[in-house]
Amino acid sequence: MLSNHTQAVFAFQNCMDPYLFWGMCLSLMFLGMVGLTPLHPHKDLTSHGMIMLVFRRIALASMAAEVTLFIGFAITLQGTLGEENLNKLLHIYAWRWLPMLPLFLIVGIICRLVYHRWAVPRISSLLRRMRITQTEDTVSDMKNEITKYRAIDYDPLKYMRPGEMFLGLDISTKAPQYLDLATWDETHKITVGTTRYGKGITFQIWASQAIRRGKTLFHIDPKTDKYMPHVLKQEAEKHGKTFLSVDLMSRDAKGTYAPFVHGSPEDRRSRLYEVLSLRDSGTTADFYKTVARRYLVNIFHDADAQNQPTTIPWLLEQVEAMKEDDTGNRDEDTARRKSLESVVSRLTEMAAYERISGKGGFSIAKTLLNPNGAVVYFRGHLEDQVILAATRAFIIELRQEIKRLHQDRKTEVEIQVDELKFLLSKTILGSLATITGEGATFCLAFQSFGDIENPEDETINGRAALQAIKVNCQVKEFFGGSDSDTARWIAETTGDTSKRAVRMEQTEVNAMGGESWASKRTFGDVQEYVIPENVVKALTPKVAVLMRPNHLATVVTVAPVKVTLP
């Protein structure tokens, strides 16, 4: 019969295997999870670190107690059963439990690695989003801007009111944006953007209000807007105004125009020189232009003396006679014929168009003298150089008649010119500085600054023309699709604003390579444009940057005037 001492040893052995070894395995796994350091608190230790410190101490204490118990049992077992039996028992324990101890330690280390590399960054990110943060401004980011600006459908006529010009709805607040009429009537306007982005819609909104105010409105359209003539006609009839259409392309349409029949002799001669490119351009061709002008200088005065309308066919007949005249001076005759050859060619080309070769046709003077104001839609064509030249002549004559009839007119005049690149002339550029004093303003549309820097008329200095337009047109709407140069200029022109933004927000990297957000952020003032370049590039159709005097630039959305097509 076994002694009590021996029975106690075997009872303890049964407890040790498996409970003591499972305890050692779990202690090692826990140590792998919480690590071995630090063992003492310090000032930089966080609350999470303090909890881990407590767990670490418990695990180490448990491991030390379990090892002490195992050593004590081994000594007791040696004294009771002998060294040979102890070695056998230890051999059994080694095969059964020794592989388990490092395995549990490795599992603990893996758990710790997963926690610090995967869980900690995500928990930190979640807690960061849950912070109650200080007020800060958002700096422009193209990823955010690209989805922010979307047009709104509305009826612009509902927002029009006396005493102010409606320009669109603020894209953020949906508040209508206005400009006082005094400022509106004292400056020219431009709208810039690629095709189908909203320039025509802007013209609809501006035209509708000009008609309501009793202005005489001229809309020059060289590319045929589908809706604009119907909007103009609808608004003119609604407010009791005469609507006139001059279509130089359609044979069935009403309205013709004679480019060199109306106005004073000097004005007609000036139009002829500009349309036929007889102005000096600083090239060797200027000699022949000078000779041509010498023979043409009195042609309009002579026609008036004979009570003869200066139609294109009549002018062609006179210039051909001049060209073929033989004075007997061979050098003079040769120079005259060479100089007038291009004039004859251009007039011959223009004479083939019935709608510009008549004796009368549309009278700008009569329209301007209409005491109730009138609405005029003038249709040209971008791809027909003759019609394009006649359209330029129309704009030049309009400017001349506005000046000549300034004292006799009863209404103010608003002139809308689409696709300015093809119609830009020195007359328009010269008018920007003076025509507002004569009760008239220009509303100009083009696709980009590059259009003005490279106009169809090569005698115009593109850079100087663009600068004149920028300075004199103080009301500006820029739509999307702008090139980088235009977008950069818009941003710089809107001015700087100071934003309170996060300058630096630190992260900490733990021992396992996982990042977590630090509990400290640094704020600072950031200078950014009122309308950043990213915003201009992110604009969608019918959304524009609005710039007007005495107001911060803002982003607005425009909507077409509702009209029923026939």
In a domain, 539, yes or no: no
Burial of 551 (0-12, 13-18, 19+ CB in 10 A): middle
Domain end residue (candidates: 310, 337, 356): 356
pLDDT recorded at residue 518 = 74
Q: Tell me what pLDDT residue 286 has.
A: 82
Length of the chain: 566
In a domain? residue 461: no
The predicted model scores a pTM of: 0.76
Is residue 551 assigned to a domain?
no
Q: How many domains does the chain have?
A: 2
The reply to whether 76 falls in a domain is yes
Domain closes at, from 76, 98, 120: 98
pLDDT value at residue 250: 78
In this predicted model, what pLDDT tens digit does every residue of 267-312 receive, in sequence order? 999 999 988 888 887 777 788 888 888 889 999 999 999 999 999 9
If you average pLDDT over residues 142-159, what whole number do you get? Answer: 82
Residues 6+ apart with CB under 8 A from 313: 351, 357
Has residue 382 been placed in a domain? no
Q: Pick the range with the lowest mean pLDDT from 344-353, 418-427, 502-511.
A: 502-511
Contact 296, 247 (CB under 8 A): no
pLDDT of residue 420: 93
Q: E strand or H helix at 168, and its extent?
A: strand 164-170
* Per-residue pLDDT tens over the stretch 55-64: 888 888 988 8
What secondary structure, in 3-state letters, does 263-314 show?
A: CCHHHHHHHHHHHCCCCCCCCCCHHHHHHHHHHHCCHHHHHHHCCCCCCHHH
Residue ending a domain, among 356, 390, 414, is 356
Share of the chain above pLDDT 70, in %: 93
Asked if the bond preceding 18 is cis, omega within 30° of 0, the reply is: yes
Burial class (CB in 10 A: 0-12, 13-18, 19+), 277: middle
Between CA 108 and CA 129 the distance in angstroms is: 30
Q: Is residue 212 part of a domain?
A: no
Predicted confidence band of residue 336 (pLDDT cuts 50, 70, 90):
confident
Which pair of tokens denotes residue 399? 């400017």
Q: What is the mean pLDDT of the chain?
A: 86
Q: Give Rg (Cα) of the chain.
A: 44
Would you say residue 39 lies in a domain?
Answer: yes
21-30, 82-91, 276-285 — which is least confidently predicted? Answer: 82-91
Question: pLDDT value at position 327?
Answer: 74
How many angstroms separate the first and last alpha carbons of the chain? 121
543 by Cβ neighbours in 10 Å (0-12 / 13-18 / 19+) ranks as: buried
The whole domain housing 16 covers: 4-98
pLDDT at 208 over 50: yes
pLDDT at position 502 is: 64
The owner of tokens 């640094």 is 522
Per-residue model confidence as pLDDT tens digits over 220-260: 998 888 899 999 999 999 999 999 999 988 777 777 899 99
Q: Which of 180, 159, 179 is nearest to 169 (CA)?
A: 159
Q: Is residue 363 in a domain? A: no
